[in-house]
Amino acid sequence: MGGDGANPAPIITPMRGLHLTADLRGCAAARPVMTTPAVLRSTCLAAVAAAGLSAVGELFHRFAPETPQGEAPAGITGVVLLAESHLAVHTWPEIEAVTLDVYVCNLGADNSTRAEALLSALIAAFAPTSVERHAIERGNEPLAAAR
């Protein structure tokens, strides 16, 4: 490009992604999906597959109980890496709450419907008494290439 700085930077295609979150309240602590990593893992992976998304990795971690006697239920953080981006789940059985985070890239294809299906399936799995959902469309503006 001549190196004279007169030519503007080329435009790169927008990232275009959809970021969905949900805060769930009133999730029964006795439900195994709240406290058993294997149950949460299988629930998440089944929901990912049913939504038509592709899991490429995952990690589920159960936290230690809050009391020395281990009487209080312990929550789980789970992450599923998707070919399309990610799913994150955090359970708090001690306050009967869950947070869900689904992000999908829409660069090669529009995965928005799949992301919505995934979030809806997970909300149903926790059977909350209340749900607060948010959707953020991310990266819709073209970016100038770095020089």
3-37 pLDDT, tens per residue?
A: 555 666 555 666 789 999 999 999 999 999 999 99
Residue 2 — pLDDT band, cuts 50, 70, 90? Answer: very low
* Predicted local confidence at residue 98, as pLDDT: 98
Position 84 in a domain: yes
82-115: buried (b, 16+ CB within 10 Å) or exposed (e) per residue?
bebbbbebebbbbebbbebbbbbbbeeeebbebb
Handedness of CA 37, 42, 121, 32 (dihedral sign): negative
Residue 18 forms part of a structural domain:
yes
Number of domains comprising the chain: 1
Q: Tell me, yes or no, whether 105 lies in a domain.
A: yes
Residue 50 pLDDT greater than 90, yes or no: yes
**CA–CA separation, 104 and 125 (whole Å):** 21
> Does 58 map to a domain?
yes
Helices (H) and strands (E) in the chain, counts: 3, 8
Residue 43 within a domain: yes
Could you tell me the pTM of the whole model?
0.84
In a domain, residue 95? The reply is yes
List the CATH number of the domain containing 43. 3.60.90.10
**Is residue 147 included in any domain, yes or no?**
no
Give residue-wise pLDDT tens across range 52-109.
Answer: 999 999 999 999 876 666 567 789 999 999 999 999 999 999 999 999 999 999 888 8
Residue 80 domain boundaries: 12-139
> Pick from 138, 94, 92: which is nearest to 115 by CA?
138
Question: Which residue numbers are catalytic?
Answer: 85, 90, 105
The residue that leads in pLDDT, 137 or 119, is 119
Q: Is residue 24 part of a domain?
A: yes
